[in-house]
Amino acid sequence: MAELLSGIYAVGEQGEIWMRQFLKGELPPEGEIAKAEGFLTGPGSVEDLGVLITSVVDTGGS
């Protein structure tokens, strides 16, 4: 259950980061979008969340 909640948080946090970028008129990198889309629409696994979590950590969550 903790892994599921962590995954939901990671996806939500990445969405908030991209939303702030859109409001500034910036587009998120295509590679990040493709990785997130692949996780959300593909078979996805907890291990795949590393892609999203790494992105959040690299940007400082902002």
Nearest Cα residue to 6 out of 57, 60, 62: 57
- What's the mean per-residue pLDDT of the chain? 76
Identify the burial level of 55 via C-beta atoms within 10 angstroms of its C-beta, where 0-12 means exposed, 13-18 middle and 19 or more buried: buried
State the pLDDT at residue 41.
Answer: 76
Q: How far is CA 61 from CA 1, 4, 27, 43, 57, in A?
A: 23, 19, 16, 26, 6
Q: Is the pLDDT of residue 1 over 60?
A: yes
Q: Is the pLDDT of residue 7 over 70?
A: yes
Domain assignment of residue 20, given as a range: 2-58
Question: Distance between CA 4 and CA 8 in Å, rounded?
Answer: 6
Q: Is the pLDDT of residue 62 over 60?
A: no
For the stretch 22-46, pLDDT in tens is: 999 998 888 888 887 877 777 666 6
Nearest Cα residue to 53 out of 2, 1, 12: 12
User: How many domains is the chain built from?
Assistant: 1
